[in-house]
């Protein structure tokens, strides 16, 4: 006699389908789990992830929010909702979610990085630098954090400091085998060098 599948069984099956790229199948399995256990935050979060992968971010947000309602300390759901909010252009909402994540998971380097990104998009460059710096402290080979911190410094007219970070990012990208980002960063460095030289020349001519 076959054992009836539990909500946990459906969640495990949904996870396997999601890992295999079968997101529609994963949604179906997570929904079965929810039908059996409507107060299961993991099922809502998993289904939200599958919707997100299918680029249905509105449905993903609904599921992440439901998961958070059921489990207010659910760091993963806050992180994923923050990511979806950011991609939908809601930087303030993303900042609120990532602020919650860094409180719940203070050693999560990517959470601090995304917290910094949310601040950057809101025009808070100094706070963004703080987020990137914390991410680097937790993960010293975090190339993207060096890159974004460098850009933030340059935007704040601290070009010398910014270029140091960008050079570090370029080196890390190369070491990690990410040559497309390495060359992209090298082009950014060249642009800032050119802009800095032009600005110096303009200031000199104005002084004369």
In a domain, 122, yes or no: yes
- Please say whether the beta carbons of 80 and 101 come within 8 A: no
In a domain, 72, yes or no: yes
Q: Is residue 58 part of a domain?
A: yes
- 191 within some domain: yes
Query: Of 159, 101, 160, which is closest to residue 131 (Cα–Cα)?
Result: 101
Output the pLDDT for position 115: 97
CATH number for 128: 1.25.40.10
At 38-86, the pLDDT tens digits run: 999 999 999 999 999 999 999 999 999 999 999 999 999 999 999 999 9
- Identify whether 203 is part of a domain: no
Which has the closest alpha carbon to 96: 69, 78, 122? 78
Residue 131 lies in a domain: yes
- The model's pLDDT over 94-117, given as tens digits with 9 standing for 90+, comes to 999 999 999 999 999 999 999 999
Token code pair at residue 37 = 């256990």
Contacts of 148 (CB under 8 A, 6+ apart): 113, 116, 117, 120, 128, 132
Out of 75, 105, 135, pick the residue that ends a domain: 105
Could you tell me if 101 and 15 lie in one domain? yes
Confidence of residue 202 (pLDDT cuts 50, 70, 90): very low
DSSP-assigned states of every residue in 63-79: HHHHHHHH-TT-HHHHH
* Sole residue written with tokens 């659910």: 74
């Amino acid at each position: 006699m076959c054992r009836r599948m539990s909500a946990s069984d459906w969640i495990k099956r949904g996870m396997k389908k999601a890992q295999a790229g079968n997101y529609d199948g994963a949604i179906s399995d997570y929904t079965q789990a929810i039908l059996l256990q409507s107060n299961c935050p993991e099922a809502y979060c998993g289904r939200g992830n599958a919707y997100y992968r299918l680029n249905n971010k509105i449905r993903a947000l609904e599921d992440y929010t439901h998961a958070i309602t059921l489990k207010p300390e659910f760091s993963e759901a806050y992180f994923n909702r923050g990511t979806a909010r950011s991609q939908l252009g809601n930087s303030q909402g993303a900042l609120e979610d990532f602020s919650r994540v860094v409180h719940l998971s203070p050693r999560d380097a990517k959470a601090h990085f995304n917290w910094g990104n949310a601040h950057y998009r809101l025009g808070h460059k100094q706070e963004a630098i703080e987020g990137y710096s914390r991410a680097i402290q937790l993960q010293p080979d975090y190339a993207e954090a060096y890159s974004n911190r460098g850009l933030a410094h340059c935007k704040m007219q601290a070009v010398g400091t910014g270029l140091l970070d960008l050079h570090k990012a370029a080196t890390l990208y190369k070491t990690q085998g990410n040559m497309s980002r390495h060359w992209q960063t090298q082009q950014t460095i060249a642009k800032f060098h050119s802009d800095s030289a032009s600005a110096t020349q303009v200031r000199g001519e104005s002084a004369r």
